[in-house]
Amino acid sequence: MDADIAERVASQNFTFDITITDLNNQEVATQASAVVHKGDFYIGLSPEEYVGQTGKENAVNVITVDWQSEPSPQREVQLVFSEHNWYSVQQQYEDGSFYWDSVVEDIPVFTTTVTTDNDGLAVAGFTPENGGIYKITASGTDSAGNEVRSSTYMWVSGAEYVNWRQENNDRIDLVADKREYNVGDTATVLVPHPYSGTVKALITLERGHIYEHYVTELSTNSEQLEIPITAEMIPNMYVSVVVISPPSLITVGEEEQVSGELPSFKVGYASLPINTSAKELQITLTPNRPTDETYQPGETAEYKVQVTDAQGQPVKAELSLALVDKAVLTLAPETPGQLLSTFWRTRGLGVTTAGGLTLAIDRINLAVAPEAKGGGGGFDEGFGNIRGEFKDTALWIADFTTDENGEGTVEAELPDNLTTWTLTGKGVTGADTLVGENTVEIVSAKPLLVRPVAPRFFVVGDEAVLGLIIQNNTKAAQEVEAKLEATGLEIGEWRIANGEWKNEGAPALEVKNGERIKVEFKVTVTDAETASLTMGAKSADYGDALTFDLPIYRFSTPETVATAGVLAEDGTRTEGIALPASFDPTQGDLTVSVDPSLAAGMRDGLTYLEHFRYECTEQTVSRFLPNVFTFRAYEQLNMNNPELEEKLPGLVSVGLQRLYSQQHVDGGWGWWVLDDSNPFLTAYVLLGLVEAKRADFPVDDYVIEQAVSYLDASLTAPKDIEDSWQGNRQAFILYVLAEAGSGDLGRSIALFDQRQKLDIFGRAYLAMAIHLLDDKASQIDTLLDDITTAAIVSATGAHWEEEQVDYYSMNTDTRSTAIIIAALSRIQPDHPLLANAVRWLMSVRENGGHWETTQETAWAIIGLTDFMVATGELEGSYAWNVTLNGEGVGEGTVNEENIDETTKLRLEIGDLLTDAVNRLAIERDPLSGDVSEESPGRLYYSAYLTYYKPVQEVKALDRGIIVSRQYFLESPSPSQGEGRGEGPITEAKVGDVIRVKLTLIAPNDLHYVVVEDPFPAGTEGVDASLATTSVVGQQPEFTRTDTRNPWGGGYGWWWFSHSELRDEKAALFATYLPAGTYEYTYSIRASIPGEFRVIPTHAEEMYFPEVFGRGDGGLFKVTE
């Protein structure tokens, strides 16, 4: 690298990006910088005071240091003091207005030479004759003849008029004499204004409010103010000066008249930073072992905590303590001292001066199941305890309090990670708000240890090479036996350290002290849900083993058909189930769910929302809002649900904190935090906040107030509504505002007068809004009549279908029906269509017991909960029985003890008839066995047949979206092989960085789009946001490449507001995507050798999943 900086004025900083590859094929990157020095020493300048006076000697401190900031003695330094003179003249624009034009000139007035002493220090004196700005330039020559330079400025006040620079505004720059002050100092502030003669000035000390103010006279235009620094000024204080120049007056007769200049003013500010060290706590964390000694997994580490103030006096403080795996902290390191700088950061001015004269991932490490314990029977005691409890955080205490002596102790049992554990303590005191933080590290290790080399997931049919790294820390060579056991995988040949592949015996090898050797195993992935692996190594005296689970995904796409119904009285219902002509007989099943009540039928829906794979704003609310409705319903019906009672506070708390952090400054929310505020989503969030507060959870009232203000401002006059989606949104907002206690009956009635602009679900919202404000209003009946007339009644029940899709409200016919059930249950619970609507809604659940989207599921649970409360539908006493083709599948009884429990029955697809229709019979009878006796309650049932098409039949599919994927090599190194082509690839080498190019074609405008692109299992996504990732290349990029819009190229990123890199896929999100062609590129890295099945890319409208596209699957090979 060329580091010649002879032509540069100053030293230069070179930054290096360094990537290290471990034996397990994992890369860790870091950045380092090096300074190429202009000379072999540096010169530092610091005036004793940055603001001086004419006729008074001003001292300038000079220091010379070497590259390590140590003194560089006996250096000769020349200093030149120059007047930094501004010359300002008024010019005239063509329109006749005037402006100031300024130029600067440095005029040397004094030169001196000093030689630094043995400490590298010297002092130069200078007595200025004139006021103004002085530039101080220092220069010296090193042993090689290189010139070293430095400069600074000082300001001087005097009795004579100073030509300060004239600005084209009414601002002046006040100058403080120091960069930072301590309590007890006196700050000197120069006021450089352009007026001659004596003028009046308003002086204020400000920060959030006015601390002090007074009026004084300034006799010169370089006057100095003296400001005593007090403790209440920490961390900073603002000095504001308003200088008023009165008009020029002459006496005409007996009257004074303005002559010459009109009155004017100048205003200036200076921030006075004040040292905050007095506000810092000193926190000491001491483990019970010296730092050069290690711990082992399962041992208990004890820490002594000591807290003192800045003077070393013990103080009682509250701390948060977190013991975290250092590997996690390395991904996104915290900046030291952040707590002090956050609590005592520089405050904003917060005061306006005016006058009459002017107008906030998944882990990168191996993903393991926290609950994975134990191992295979083949691992004897020689391997030691099998490690399976891997955690990112070993200890978290949010409110650890020290005693009056500032002391305390804490213990933590170490998980099975072999790592460096970092204990971080962050503390705060009471009224005086002293804050501090500190960290300490311990190491958890074993004399002989093993580390896995495995992907994060598998796909059925993958062939991979797994590794086991054996590391010897025993200080002596060890004869070691290695072992791998697994379920979900077929284990084949093995080899040691890139030797020959063998298929007999077990790996046995010698590992020298300090050596690391990798043992590899070939595996093939079978058709299972999970691969459970146990790896280990043992010698005569030492051993180590670990166990973990990896998910197994299927290459083929499942297809599901369903049937459902309700038995409201005793009898038998028979459903016919026929298998398709083509399917994979090794995959698939028939699942039958028996629900004795709506409470039972909603449980799966609640679980689905709680564990939904993404966390946009809508899904954050949907994760807790239906649970809140269900919780209140159980209370109103005097029922207990201990499981819900235990988990609900956590769900609500996490959801609320996430929503608080993502609220925009205007009070609204978007689908994702980077989206613009959306009135519909903001209303949905507000509904969640209101219902949570109604259930007695603590909710920030200010957040609610801001949301109410935003929604109130978003309302429009009903006569100006042009499209139904606007009317539906307005109806929803009015309903939510009514729930929040901020309803407006006048606006609601005005929208009623324009109800022809509303869809059916919009009228249901409006009916609920008016009912909350005036339950006797005649408009309610009219709206319910409109809803009743629009109902579609069939053998499966009653439901509603909209004439057009409201994409902006995420609405579907199922969602409309759920909202109408909620409205009817609250307003007219005896409505003749209500029970049939509930029956229809229960019949359209998806496999898994939920509805098709999170919005459908959330509103279905809300509607069914309202119906359950209104009707008390929680009675049941009967027996049931399920048969398939005359053979018993399952049976049970229903009573008040299990009325809210679901029974699931599962049959393998191989148990079904392929050449005839399968007869599924569901029967219910009285518990007494007397068929003449009618038993109370309802039995809801559903049956889902899930089958998989053969892999060769899974092709690209276009249902409104076209999506494709290509892989390209991203500049492989010469050592990896040159000339491997620039076109699309299906093969790469371990260590290659691969550029993934996704192309999405939207023939029509799309709403709430999600694109999911699965990785080959032998690769990993490159997350450029992590500190351990190389900064060279690899940044994701969005592009719009629409030939119909030549001006749109390069702006596709605007539409995609959120992206995620997960263990198994990349995911992209767009709230709205106009018709066009888009490209997204990102990087993955090949890390595990093998041949991998790549699941097709999938894109869909999240709330309208029937609009989707699927790309081609394929095979991707990774070689050594």
Whether residue 840 contacts residue 798, with contact meaning beta carbons closer than 8 Å, is answered with yes
Confidence of residue 1108 (pLDDT cuts 50, 70, 90): very high
353 burial via Cβ count (<10 Å: 0-12, 13-18, 19+): middle
Print the SS3 string covering 658-685.
Answer: HHHHHCCCCCCCCCCCCCCCCHHHHHHH
Return the bridge partners of 594, or none.
903, 941
Structure tokens at 527: 């058709």
The helix (run of H) or strand (run of E) holding residue 1011 is strand 1006-1014
Between CA 358 and CA 352 the distance in angstroms is: 13
Q: Which residue type sits at 1095?
A: I
What pLDDT is attached to residue 796? 86
Say which residue, 103 or 28, is predicted with more confidence: 103
Q: For the segment 744-796, what is each residue's pLDDT rounded down to a tens digit?
A: 999 999 999 999 999 999 999 999 999 999 999 999 999 999 999 999 999 88
Whether residue 673 contacts residue 662, with contact meaning beta carbons closer than 8 Å, is answered with yes
User: Rounded mean pLDDT of 275-290?
Assistant: 94
Return the bridge partners of 134, or none.
83, 154
Closest by Cα among 1085, 1107, 1075 to 1011:
1107
Q: Is 130 left (phi over 0), alpha (psi -120 to 50) or beta?
A: beta
Whether residue 386 contacts residue 545, with contact meaning beta carbons closer than 8 Å, is answered with yes
pLDDT of 535 above 60:
yes
pLDDT of 355 above 70:
no
Looking at the chain, the whole-number percentage of residues with pLDDT higher than 70 is: 89
User: Rounded mean pLDDT of 927-953?
Assistant: 79
DSSP state at residue 295: B
The helix (run of H) or strand (run of E) holding residue 604 is helix 603-610
Confidence of residue 369 (pLDDT cuts 50, 70, 90): very low
Confidence of residue 377 (pLDDT cuts 50, 70, 90): very low
H helix intervals, 301-455: 326-331, 338-343
Whether residue 945 contacts residue 926, with contact meaning beta carbons closer than 8 Å, is answered with no
Confidence of residue 1041 (pLDDT cuts 50, 70, 90): low
CA angle 742, 744, 748 (to 5 degrees): 135
Which of 90-104, 247-261, 720-734, 819-833 has the lowest average pLDDT?
247-261
H helix intervals, 753-812: 760-773, 778-789
pLDDT of 375 above 50:
no
Return the bridge partners of 994, or none.
969, 1084
User: Rounded mean pLDDT of 561-582?
Assistant: 90
Which of 513-522, 526-535, 1046-1055 has the lowest average pLDDT?
1046-1055
pLDDT of 362 above 60:
no
Q: For the segment 857-915, what is each residue's pLDDT rounded down to a tens digit?
A: 999 999 999 999 998 777 788 999 999 999 999 999 999 888 889 999 999 998 999 99
955 burial via Cβ count (<10 Å: 0-12, 13-18, 19+): exposed
Whether residue 967 contacts residue 996, with contact meaning beta carbons closer than 8 Å, is answered with yes
Whether residue 419 contacts residue 301, with contact meaning beta carbons closer than 8 Å, is answered with no
Q: Which residue type sits at 1001?
A: I
Between CA 671 and CA 744 the distance in angstroms is: 26
What pLDDT is attached to residue 365? 31
pLDDT of 695 above 90:
yes
Confidence of residue 2 (pLDDT cuts 50, 70, 90): low
User: Rounded mean pLDDT of 146-158?
Assistant: 91
Domains and CATH numbers, the chain: 37-166 (2.60.40.1930), 169-275 (2.60.40.1930), 278-353+361-367+392-443 (2.20.130.20), 448-547 (2.60.40.10), 598-873 (1.50.10.20), 954-1119 (2.60.40.690)
Neighbour tally for 1111: CB within 10 Å: 24
The helix (run of H) or strand (run of E) holding residue 565 is strand 558-567
What pLDDT is attached to residue 1025? 59
What pLDDT is attached to residue 163? 83
User: Rounded mean pLDDT of 160-187?
Assistant: 87
User: Rounded mean pLDDT of 410-433?
Assistant: 94
Give the position of tokens 């200010």.
702
Say which residue, 240 or 366, is predicted with more confidence: 240
What pLDDT is attached to residue 214? 93
Structure tokens at 923: 């029967």
pLDDT of 661 above 90:
yes
Average confidence score pLDDT of the chain = 88
Which of 448-452, 598-602, 725-729 has the lowest average pLDDT?
598-602
Sign of CA dihedral 632, 634, 635, 636: positive
Distances 334 to 121, 813, 891, 1028 between C-alpha atoms, Å: 36, 48, 58, 13
Give the position of tokens 């017991």.
849
Confidence of residue 477 (pLDDT cuts 50, 70, 90): very high
Provide the 3-class DSSP secondary structure of residue 469: strand
- Strands 939-948 vs 558-567: parallel, antiparallel or unpaired: antiparallel
431 burial via Cβ count (<10 Å: 0-12, 13-18, 19+): exposed
Structure tokens at 54: 């004419």
Neighbour tally for 789: CB within 10 Å: 8
User: Rounded mean pLDDT of 397-423?
Assistant: 95
Between CA 818 and CA 814 the distance in angstroms is: 6
Between CA 598 and CA 825 the distance in angstroms is: 14
Q: For the segment 822-860, what is each residue's pLDDT rounded down to a tens digit?
A: 999 999 999 999 999 999 999 999 888 899 999 999 999
Say which residue, 657 or 39, is predicted with more confidence: 657
Residue environment code for 963-974, b if the CB has 16+ CB neighbours within 10 A, otherwise e? bebebebbebee
Between CA 663 and CA 66 the distance in angstroms is: 50
